[in-house]
Amino acid sequence: LGTLFLKMISHLAITPREVTISLVILVIVFVFLRVLRSKGRKQVSPPGPLSFPIIGNLLQLGEHPYLTFMEMRRQYGDIFLLRLGTVPVVVVNGVEMVKQVLLKDGEYFAGRPNMHTFSFLAEGKSLTFSVNYGESWKLHKKIASNALRTFSKAEAKSSTCSCLLEEHVTEEASELVKVFVELTSKNGSFNPRSAITCAVANVVCALCFGKRYDHGDEEFLRIVKTNDDLLKASSAANPADFIPCFRYLPLRIINAPREFYQALNRFIALQVQDHLTTYDKDHIRDITDALINTCHNKYAATKTATLNDSEIISTVSDLFGAGFETVSTCLYWSFLYLIRYPDIQAKIQEEIGRNIGLKSPRFEDRKILPYTEAFINEIFRHTSFLPFTIPHCTTADTTLNGYFIPKKICVFINMYQVNHDETIWDTPNLFRPERFLNKKRELNKTLVEKVMIFGMGIRKCLGEDVARNETFIFITTVLQQLKLRKCPGAELDLTPMYGLTMKPKPYQLQAELHSTGSL
């Protein structure tokens, strides 16, 4: 083209100066046309703080990142972009933007980022941590939801199932009352965490495997500890998630989660294998049997793709791990708040005595104990012990609030901010269960729906109903029979310890039988 241009101007009386001016004009016109063409499709990225090379904005997060993000929101708005290490992350705040991401545009934000921690949690095609979102994942979720629903609804009494969530929770709640009394008698006061964890873990074992363990059983305690170690290791900020080159370093913090996960998975695999051997389609004992039944019969008959044995193991592992972490953490917080606010404890006990007396609490009693329900929802909201959803990832290029969000970018949903948004909640930092009651002292369901703890949309936690029912039975059973007190002179700290699931700092309590209570 250059040669052709020179030949053309050689036949014309054009000076070098004119050639230069012409070229400059051509360049200006070319740039102008490019600007006009791109004007209508300009891609604007979300605003955000400046970042450092390699470490990004990691040093700016502080001890409580969800609070840091609330501060950044004041400067950058509901949607902003930062870098954690070398990984770009879009942070979403504000109830409307959260609904946009999880509900209205849920398909575009339904993926999981390719983080190091997720890579081994998803090895067995985990439903919760699976990076791949598609038809296979949807079928997987449907099968798991149906199996869980079979054993978590009160109306399951009419089915052929012999394992019912309500019966197991009621049994374990009564056992927890006995343990609390024994620990108080023996030690004067005690940290309730271990007893809570064992009680809730037993519910999960009964639900998944059809059996419970004695609180002192060595195998049971070993598995509970392994799961606890896994959660601690996964909750710690893993540098390999945000600085990929760290994945190849032989550091304990990087590889410990995989070791704990594999140990827990071996235990669950043995339980599932035992179920596969003893499976009887006419006697469905638990969730594991229900998954086997669904996969080996219903879908096989229709020749529809379904779960293989390894996926069944991963599904049970998902339910096992999540099934007692959320509930046990909620109860640990609840008992702390009950001894911190004895007047609230007295109100719940008065409501229980007035409406159900000494009758064993059941799921259906949630309808007639609105203040107790309000307390549980205020625990969810005020503690926000799950400050973020599990990280999401975009499945395609999209836009959010006018900003361009590229495919495969990591997305954090700040649930803590929604639960403390002053435009939704009056004095959000104040713990006040009454906020969930209307003038008739009935539960305000519209406000309950605004509490963010289980997520929403496509990736919403499968076990919300189970967690709510289970938490209700444990709290009402304990308060029906016991009065909980803090240790004389003890200072109770409500500041959480940050992690994937935030827990309270260790505390001690005392449990005393009501004069009208009975074991």
Residues annotated in a binding site: 461
CA angle 266, 226, 221 (to 5 degrees): 100
DSSP assignment of 344-396 equals HHHHHHHHHHHHTTTSPP-GGGGGG-HHHHHHHHHHHHHH-SS-BPSPEE-SS
Binding-site annotation: residue ranges for heme: 461
Strands (E), 236-311: none
The pair of three-digit structure tokens given for residue 238, joined into one six-digit string: 């893993």
CA distance 466 to 148: 9
Query: What distance lies between CA 178 and its chain's CA centroid?
Result: 31
CA distance 234 to 129: 12
CA distance 504 to 193: 10
Q: With H, G, I as helix, E, B as strand and everything else as coil, classify residue 468.
A: helix
Torsion of CA 349, 335, 66, 388, to 10 degrees: -80
Residue pair 219/213 in contact (Cβ under 8 Å)? The answer is yes
For residue 199, what are the contacts with CB-CB under 8 A and spacing of at least 6? 172, 173, 175, 176, 179, 215, 474
Angle between helices 464-481 and 135-152 (to 10 degrees): 30
CA distance 434 to 220: 39
Strand order in the sheet with 87-92: 79-84, 87-92, 410-413, 392-393
The pair of three-digit structure tokens given for residue 486, joined into one six-digit string: 């803090």
CA distance 328 to 334: 10
Distance (Å) of CA 468 to CA 58, 372, 374: 35, 12, 12
Query: What distance lies between CA 300 and its chain's CA centroid?
Result: 32
